[in-house]
Amino acid sequence: MNDKQIDLLNLDTHELTGLVQSWNEPVYRVKQLQQWLYHELVDDFDAMSNLPHPLRARLKAATTIGDLKLIATQDSADALTRKALFQMRDGQTVETVLMRYLDAPGSPEDSTDPPNVARRTVCISTQVGCPVGCPFCETGQAGYIRNLTLGEVVAQVLYFAREQKRAGFEMPLTNIVIMGMGEPFMKFNVTWRAIQAFTDPARLGMGARRVTVSTSGYVDGIRQLIEKKSQVNLAVSLHAADDALRDQLVPVNRKYPLRELMNACREYVHATHRRITFEYALMDNVNDSAQQAEQVAQLLAGVLCHVNLIPLNPTSESPYRRSPYARVLEFQRVLNRHNIPTTLRVEKGIEIMAGCGQLRQQVKRHSANVNALPLAT
Ligand code: SF4
């Protein structure tokens, strides 16, 4: 790739049409191209057999299909979770995670081919680093560098879609969660254009309810999402039910305190009739007492919601530790007593450091000896 090449994944249908027309090609080429890119999932212009050779040559010279270069991967011991680290045109790196969930007892080894995997969820990033700066999060601690482009966001999904297609899945991915590095609502326009790329039938064509966008509580973005009248799922990282503690754990709370956040959440439920998922990472002796569970219950009373309890994925340098299991269960019992539905998130890939930003930091620390890591082939 070079700086003058256009990333085709950065273009929506209207923009791709403009490019095709500027080359004096018929407009039906747009449909053909999108079919190859998003349905056939090819990453090679030579495979686009119904495009004439001169057009393929021009595409090859002037455009790219995504701008990500895979530089490292890590797999969990059960082979169900895979993390990928990609490098972009400017040398910055970003992480993406594939999480696969079995639909029947057994391991991938004793499953059929393709394995008996019910859900294949890809968790994507929207920024290099994150300006929110949550102290328990490796990404937040590493600082913020820049927003990703639409093409860089979409390419993360296509990478794993291709991989799962090669593994034999007719529907390569079942879910997309925008929950990796970064605050997706800080650059709402890019996130919204990515959601359109995922749900537009001419492109990936996924059902909106299979797409989840997760925010740290960026109230302006929640309101913009309400205006879009979209059916995508909304998740909100709560982590504390009082402003003093949330100011520390999720610093965006200083800009949008809990009262404002909860008002926006109620507006969202009122406008969409959709349930919100509140994410709550349980940290040992920080936010995991029964009394704090009571505060969460009071805060969420009357809101159509679900609480996802996540024992913290500990990072190497953070003083925050995961809660003991007994306390996690007690926290859950308190919420359930208040009729607040909960799930205890199945931990995916803890040993490969599936928490966001951790592979990126590991590669940075080992940059002098990157071969010490399991590298992409
Ligand atoms: S937890 Fe999310 S919002 Fe907080 S710093 Fe990490 S990536 Fe950003």
Q: Where are the alpha helices (DSSP H) in the chain?
A: 13-22, 28-34, 53-62, 138-142, 150-166, 188-199, 219-228, 243-249, 258-272, 290-300, 325-337, 358-365
- Among 134, 181, 218, name the best residue to mutate to test ligand 1's pocket (greatest count of ligand atoms within 8 A of Cβ): 134
pLDDT per residue rounded down to tens, the chain (377 residues): 677 899 999 999 999 999 999 999 999 999 999 999 999 999 999 999 999 999 999 999 999 999 999 999 999 888 899 999 999 999 999 999 999 988 654 444 434 445 567 899 999 999 999 999 999 998 988 899 999 999 999 999 999 999 999 988 888 999 999 999 999 999 999 999 999 999 999 999 999 999 999 999 999 999 999 999 999 999 999 999 999 999 999 999 999 999 999 999 999 999 999 999 999 999 999 999 999 999 999 999 999 999 999 999 877 678 899 999 999 999 999 999 999 999 997 665 545 444 666 667 666 666 533 333 443 33
**Separation of 196 CA from ligand 1 center, angstroms?**
23
Pairwise CA distance, residues 305 & 278, whole Å:
7
For ligand 1, whether the C-beta of 137 sits within 6 Å is yes
Active site residue 95: yes
Q: What is the CATH number of the domain that holds 220?
A: 3.20.20.70
For ligand 1, whether the C-beta of 139 sits within 6 Å is yes
Please check whether residues 89 and 182 belong to one and the same domain. Answer: yes
Please check whether residues 79 and 146 belong to one and the same domain. Answer: yes
Q: Does residue 1 lie in a domain region?
A: no
Please check whether residues 199 and 242 belong to one and the same domain. Answer: yes
Pairwise CA distance, residues 340 & 227, whole Å:
27
Report phi then psi at 33, rounded to 5. Answer: -60, -45
Q: What is the CATH number of the domain that holds 26?
A: 1.10.150.530
Q: Does residue 272 lie in a domain region?
A: yes
Pairwise CA distance, residues 309 & 50, whole Å:
49
Please check whether residues 248 and 333 belong to one and the same domain. Answer: yes
For ligand 1, whether the C-beta of 114 sits within 6 Å is no
For ligand 1, whether the C-beta of 183 sits within 6 Å is yes
Exposure of 22 by Cβ count < 10 A (0-12 exposed, 13-18 middle, 19+ buried)? exposed
Please check whether residues 286 and 299 belong to one and the same domain. Answer: yes
Q: How far is CA 371 from CA 68, 357, 366, 368, in A?
A: 20, 19, 8, 9
- Among 183, 187, 317, 320, name the best residue to mutate to test ligand 1's pocket (greatest count of ligand atoms within 8 A of Cβ): 183
Q: Does residue 328 lie in a domain region?
A: yes
Nearest CA owner, ligand 1 atom 4? 134
pTM comes to 0.90
Q: What number does the ligand 1 atom closest to the CA of 138 have?
A: 6
For ligand 1, whether the C-beta of 178 sits within 6 Å is no
Q: Does residue 152 lie in a domain region?
A: yes
Please check whether residues 137 and 166 belong to one and the same domain. Answer: yes
Active site residue 123: no
Boundary (domain end) residue, out of 37, 64, 91: 64
Identity of the amino acid at 195:
I
Q: Does residue 377 lie in a domain region?
A: no
Q: Does residue 287 lie in a domain region?
A: yes
Please check whether residues 146 and 41 belong to one and the same domain. Answer: no
Boundary (domain end) residue, out of 22, 48, 64: 64
Q: Does residue 339 lie in a domain region?
A: yes
Domain count, the chain: 2
Please check whether residues 11 and 86 belong to one and the same domain. Answer: no
Please check whether residues 26 and 109 belong to one and the same domain. Answer: no
Q: Which residue from 241, 270, 271, 268 is spatially nearest to 253, judged by alpha carbons? A: 241
Please check whether residues 56 and 190 belong to one and the same domain. Answer: no
Q: Does residue 278 lie in a domain region?
A: yes
Exposure of 330 by Cβ count < 10 A (0-12 exposed, 13-18 middle, 19+ buried)? middle
Domain around 15: 6-64
Boundary (domain end) residue, out of 64, 84, 99: 64
Given the residues 25, 95, 152, 163, select the one marked as catalytic.
Answer: 95
DSSP per-residue string spanning 250-299: SGGGGTS-HHHHHHHHHHHHHHH-PPEEEEEEEBTTTS-SHHHHHHHHHH
Please check whether residues 31 and 138 belong to one and the same domain. Answer: no
Exposure of 77 by Cβ count < 10 A (0-12 exposed, 13-18 middle, 19+ buried)? exposed
Please check whether residues 60 and 73 belong to one and the same domain. Answer: no
